[in-house]
Amino acid sequence: MKESQPSAIYLKDYQVPPYLIDKTELTFDLDEATTVVTSRLHMRRNPESTQQNAPLVLDGGEDVKLIGVAVGDCALPAEAYRVNEDKLVIDSTPDAFVLTCETLIEPQNNTSLEGLYRSSSMFCTQCEAEGFRHITYYLDRPDVMSVFTTTIIADETRYPVMLSNGNEVERGKTEEGKTVVVWHDPFPKPAYLFALVAGDLAVKEDVFLTQSQREVALKIFTESHNIDKVDYAMEALKRSMRWDEETYGREYDLDIFMIVAVDDFNMGAMENKGLNIFNSSCLLASPKTTTDDNFLRVEAIVAHEYFHNWSGNRVTCRDWFQLSLKEGFTVFRDQSFSADMHSDTVKRVEDVSFLKTAQFAEDAGPMAHPVRPASFIEISNFYTLTVYEKGSEIVRMIHTLLGEEKFRAGSDLYFERHDGQAVTCDDFVAAMEDASSIDLTQFRDWYSQAGTPIVTVTDSYDESTKTYQLTMTQETLPTPGQDSKVALHIPVRMGLLSQEGDLLPSSLDGTVSDEHVLHLTDFEQTMTFENVSSRPVPSLLRGFSAPVKLRYEYSAQDLLLLMSSDADGFNRWSAAQQLAVNELTQLINQAIQGQALSVDSTLVDGFRALLNDGSLDPAMVALILALPSQAYLSELANPIYPAAIKQARQHLKKQLANTLSEEFERTYHEHNMAVDYQATAEQIAHRSLKNTALSYWVETGTEAAIAALTKQYETADNMTDQFSALSIAVHGQLSNAGDLLASFYQQWQNEPLVVNKWLALSAGQEQDNALQHVQSLMAHPAFDLKNPNKVRSVLGGFGQNVSGFHNADGSGYRFLADQIILLNKRNPQIASRLCTPLTRWKKLEPTLSALMKAELERILAEDLSKDVYEVITKSLN
C-alpha cells in the first residue's frame, strides 16, 4: 500500500476556474522515440472567480516532461514555478498573458491508453475524462473552453494521414522535409474533446446535405485492410444526422465530420469534436464477420457519438459530477433513434433487460452512487451503468411527464439557452421546466438519490360501486453514504384489463381513459378509479415508465392474460418474464435444498401458445423464449448460489425442449429463410427466433437437431447464423463443440474481431478444467494483454463461466485477482473494470463470499492505481 492514500473530491467544493484559456495553440512534433508538444495558451484571469490572487495551477501527469515554460516572451527561471507529480504551479502571472510550454512525451510507452498513445502503426488520443493532462500541462477541466489550433509535424511516408479537430487550414513542409498540417476548430471546447490521429490510413468518403442545404464531407478512416467494413457505419451516420435534424432540430455545424477506427481502446468510442475515435469493434461491420447484435451496436454507437455533437460538445458539462448531463441524455437519444430505425418494443425490452440486470446490480452493490455522484476518487470509475443507463431513464421519465411536444420545447430551450456553455444537470431540468411549466422540483431528487426504489402495489375492487383502488408504496434501501431516502416522484404508466383480456377504460380524477400516468410522490398513496365495469387485472409500469422494482402479487393466470392480451407490448414481455422468473425461483430453491427439480405446467402452456400463434412478431417471441439470464437471476437472488441458478436454468430449458420439441423444430424451419443477408429488423427477427428455437431443439439431443445445427454452422453465409450455431453447441455442451471451436478459429484467425468473439465463447465454456482452459487461452497467440478487447473477451467470458469463475475452491477468483494486479499499473481503467464481478461478494452464499473477499484483500495489499484502489476499498467497506 502507498503511504498516502488517494483522496476524494466533492461536488460541494466546486468553484469556477480562476483562469480561462481563450485560445489554445498546440504543436505536435511526432516521432517514434520522443514527441515534442509545444503549447501556447492565451490566458486571462477569470473575472467571475473570487480568487483573484490565486496562483496558476496547471494539471499534468508524471509522464509529461517539462522542458521550458514562458510567460509572454520571458522564459521563466526555475524559482518562478514548481512541478510536482501532477501539477505545474506558477505563483504570479499578469491578468492576461500567453503561456508557452514545451513538453516531451513518449506515446509508444503509454500503455494506459489515456492521452496520446500508439495503436498498431498509428498515433491516436483519448482525452476524456482527464487524458489531456498526459499530453501537456493544461487546465484540464470541462468548464475551461477554448478555441484550438493544432499543428501536426510528422514524416509523411509513415503518417500520410494527420488529423485533428475542425477544418484543415494549412499544409506544408519543414526544412527537414517533414510534413506540417494545421487544423483549426472554431467551436470553443474543453480539452477532453481534443483529438489527434496520425497514420497510414485508408478512407471512405461520402457527403451529407444538411437541412439548410450545407454540404458536409464525411470521412471514415481505418487501416487499409478494414476499409471494406465501413459501409454500414457510413449509412448509420447519415441516418443519425437526418434523424437529429428531424427529431431534435439539430444540424451538424462543421464542414467535415470524421471517424477513425483504432484497435486499442479502453471504451466503445469517443465524441471528439469533428473527429470521433472508435474502438474498431464498434465501427467495423460486414455480414460475414459481424453478428446481428453487433450490427445494431455499431449503428447505436455511431449515433450516440454523433448525437454528442450537440448533447455534450456544443453544450458540455460544468464538472465531471454532471457527466450524466451529456451521457444520460445522449443514451436516451440513441435509444430513441434505434427504436425509430427498428422496433420500439424490441428495443425497449433489450434496454430494460440490460438495466434490470446490470444497473440494478450496481445500484445494490458497494459502488452504488447517484446519477449525479456527490464525490469520487477517480472519475474514470464513474462511466457507469448508473450514469449512462439510469441517467437515460431519468430523461425518459421527463419525456413521459412532459409529453412529446413539451419535451421537444424543453430540449430546444436547453440547446438555445446553453449553446457554448458548460452546464449542470440542474440547468437541463430547469430548461425542461421553463419550457413546459411543469414543476420538476421533487423530480430532481432522482439525480441525487442512489438505489433502486421498490414500488409495492396492492389493490381492491368494489363490485357495488364499480370502483377500483390501487395502493402504492415506495421504499429505497440504504446505499453507501445514504442511509435515509426521500420519496421520489415516480411516473407509473398503467391501464386495466378485464378478466377476458379486453381494455377496461376507467375514470381517474375525472379523466376517462384506457391508460393513465399515475404520479407516485409520497411513500404511500392510494388511487381510486371510478366506472370500472368489472374486476380488473392491472397492467402496471407500462413501457417500464420508471426504473423501479415493481412488486404486485400476480397470479399465474393474471400473467398469462397480460402476456397474451395487454395493449402494451413491453408489458406482454414483462409478464412472460415474471412467469419464467417465478418458475425458476422455485427450481433454484429446490436445487439449493438438494431436492429433485420439478417444473410446473404454466410456463410450458404459455410457451406452447406463443409458438403456435403465427401472428406475433418473431423478435418478441424470441425475447420471451429466452430464459432470464444467469446474471439477472443472480441480481434477484439473495444470497446467490451460482451453481443452483445454472442447474435450474438448464433443467427448465431441457424440460421445455422435450415437451415442446415439435414446436421448436417447426419454428426453426419456418424461420430459416434463404435471403441475402441484411441487418434489417425483419431479417434479424427471423434469425433470432430461428436460433432461439434451435437452442431448445438441440437440447432434445436428437440426431435431426444436431444435424440441423451442424449444417447451419457449415453452410451459413453470415456470422449471425454461424456464430449462433457455434454458441449453441458450446453452451449446450454438444459433443462436437470442441471440433467446431477449433474449425472456427482456423477459418477466422486473420479477423481479429471474430477471434475476439471466439476468445469470449471459449473462455465461457463450462467444463471441469475451465480455469486451465482460460489460462491456455491467455497463452494463445491470438491473445494480447495490451489489447483491451482481448482482455475483455477472455476475462469477461470467464466471468460468465459458472463452473470456472465460481469454482468452489476459489481458484477462479484468485485467477481474476491475479490479472487485476497484473493490469493495475499497465492500464488502470481496464484493471478497475475487471474488478466488477468481485464487488458482488456480499451477496454470494457464505463459502464463496469468504473466498471472494479474501481476493479483494489480497489486491488491496498491492500498490494500487487510484482506479483500482477506489473500487476495492469501497467494496470492502
Instruction: Catalogue the active-site residues.
Output: 305
The site that binds Zn ion (CB under 5 A) totals a number of residues, namely 2
Residue 389 binding partner per list Zn ion, ligand TRP, none, with a CB distance cut-off of 5 to 8 Å that depends on partner kind: none
Q: Indicate whether 126 belongs to the interface with ligand TRP (CB under 6 A).
A: yes
Residue from the set 16, 267, 616, 741 that interacts with ligand TRP by CB under 6 A: 267
Range in contact with ligand TRP (rule: CB under 6 A) among 49-57, 267-275, 343-351, 735-743: 267-275
Grid cell at residue 56: 496558476
857 exposure class (CB count in 10 Å sphere: 0-12, 13-18, 19+): exposed
Closest residue to ligand TRP, based on beta-carbon distance = 267
Q: Indicate whether 266 belongs to the interface with ligand TRP (CB under 6 A).
A: yes
Contacts (Cβ under 8 Å, ≥6 apart) of 519: 489, 490, 491, 492
Residues 325-344 within binding reach of Zn ion (CB under 5 A): 327, 330
The site that binds ligand TRP (CB under 6 A) totals a number of residues, namely 13
Q: Indicate whether 316 belongs to the interface with ligand TRP (CB under 6 A).
A: no
Q: Which residue from 326, 394, 297, 385 is spatially nearest to 142, judged by alpha carbons?
A: 326
Task: Write down the least CB distance from residue 192 to ligand TRP, Å.
Answer: 8
Residue from the set 64, 230, 270, 823 that interacts with ligand TRP by CB under 6 A: 270
Task: Write down the least CB distance from residue 30 to ligand TRP, Å.
Answer: 21
Residue from the set 223, 264, 319, 327 that interacts with ligand TRP by CB under 6 A: 327
Angle at 230 (CA atoms; ends 225, 232), nearest 5 degrees: 150
Provide the 3-class DSSP secondary structure of residue 33. Answer: coil
Alpha-carbon distance of 710 to 687, in angstroms, equals: 16
Residue from the set 56, 122, 139, 269 that interacts with ligand TRP by CB under 6 A: 269
State which residue, 100 or 335, has the beta carbon closest to ligand TRP. Answer: 335
Alpha-carbon distance of 827 to 117, in angstroms, equals: 12
Residue 383 binding partner per list ligand TRP, Zn ion, none, with a CB distance cut-off of 5 to 8 Å that depends on partner kind: ligand TRP
Contacts (Cβ under 8 Å, ≥6 apart) of 616: 610
Task: Write down the least CB distance from residue 277 to ligand TRP, Å.
Answer: 8
Q: Which residue from 732, 804, 801 is spatially nearest to 770, judged by alpha carbons?
A: 804
Q: Indicate whether 185 belongs to the interface with ligand TRP (CB under 6 A).
A: no
6: preceding bond cis by omega (within 30 degrees): no
Task: Write down the least CB distance from residue 129 to ligand TRP, Å.
Answer: 5
What single string gives the DSSP state of each residue in 747-761?
HHTT-HHHHHHHHHH
Range in contact with ligand TRP (rule: CB under 6 A) among 34-42, 121-129, 765-773, 857-865: 121-129
Q: Indicate whether 128 belongs to the interface with ligand TRP (CB under 6 A).
A: yes
Task: Write down the least CB distance from residue 113 to ligand TRP, Å.
Answer: 8
Q: Indicate whether 129 belongs to the interface with ligand TRP (CB under 6 A).
A: yes
Alpha-carbon distance of 875 to 869, in angstroms, equals: 10
Alpha-carbon distance of 182 to 166, in angstroms, equals: 10
Residue that has been written with the C-alpha cell 450514469 in this structure: 387
CA atoms within 13 A on the CB side of 428: 29
State which residue, 362 or 663, has the beta carbon closest to ligand TRP. Answer: 362
Alpha-carbon distance of 26 to 100, in angstroms, equals: 10
Contacts 24+ apart (CB under 8 A), 547-550: 547/355, 547/359, 547/390, 547/393, 547/452, 548/452, 548/453, 548/454, 548/455, 548/474, 548/490, 549/360, 549/452, 549/453, 549/454, 549/455, 550/455, 550/457
Task: Write down the least CB distance from residue 422 to ligand TRP, Å.
Answer: 15
Range in contact with ligand TRP (rule: CB under 6 A) among 126-134, 223-231, 554-562, 830-838: 126-134
Residue 128 binding partner per list Zn ion, ligand TRP, none, with a CB distance cut-off of 5 to 8 Å that depends on partner kind: ligand TRP
Task: Write down the least CB distance from residue 296 to Zn ion, Å.
Answer: 17
Task: Write down the least CB distance from residue 749 to ligand TRP, Å.
Answer: 29
Residues 372-391 within binding reach of ligand TRP (CB under 6 A): 380, 383
State which residue, 25 or 305, has the beta carbon closest to ligand TRP. Answer: 305
State which residue, 271 or 319, has the beta carbon closest to ligand TRP. Answer: 271
Q: Indicate whether 271 belongs to the interface with ligand TRP (CB under 6 A).
A: yes
- Please name the amino acid found at residue 521: T
Provide the 3-class DSSP secondary structure of residue 297. Answer: helix
Residue 126 binding partner per list Zn ion, ligand TRP, none, with a CB distance cut-off of 5 to 8 Å that depends on partner kind: ligand TRP
Range in contact with ligand TRP (rule: CB under 6 A) among 125-133, 576-584, 721-729, 785-793: 125-133
Q: Which residue from 703, 712, 705 is spatially nearest to 674, judged by alpha carbons?
A: 712
Provide the 3-class DSSP secondary structure of residue 284. Answer: coil
State which residue, 114 or 568, has the beta carbon closest to ligand TRP. Answer: 114
State which residue, 129 or 135, has the beta carbon closest to ligand TRP. Answer: 129
Residues facing 209 on adjacent strands: 215
State which residue, 269 or 730, has the beta carbon closest to Zn ion. Answer: 269
Alpha-carbon distance of 455 to 452, in angstroms, equals: 9
Q: Which residue from 861, 786, 871, 803 is spatially nearest to 837, judged by alpha carbons?
A: 871
Interface contacts to ligand TRP, rule CB under 6 A: 126, 128-129, 266-267, 269-271, 304-305, 327, 380, 383
Interface contacts to Zn ion, rule CB under 5 A: 327, 330
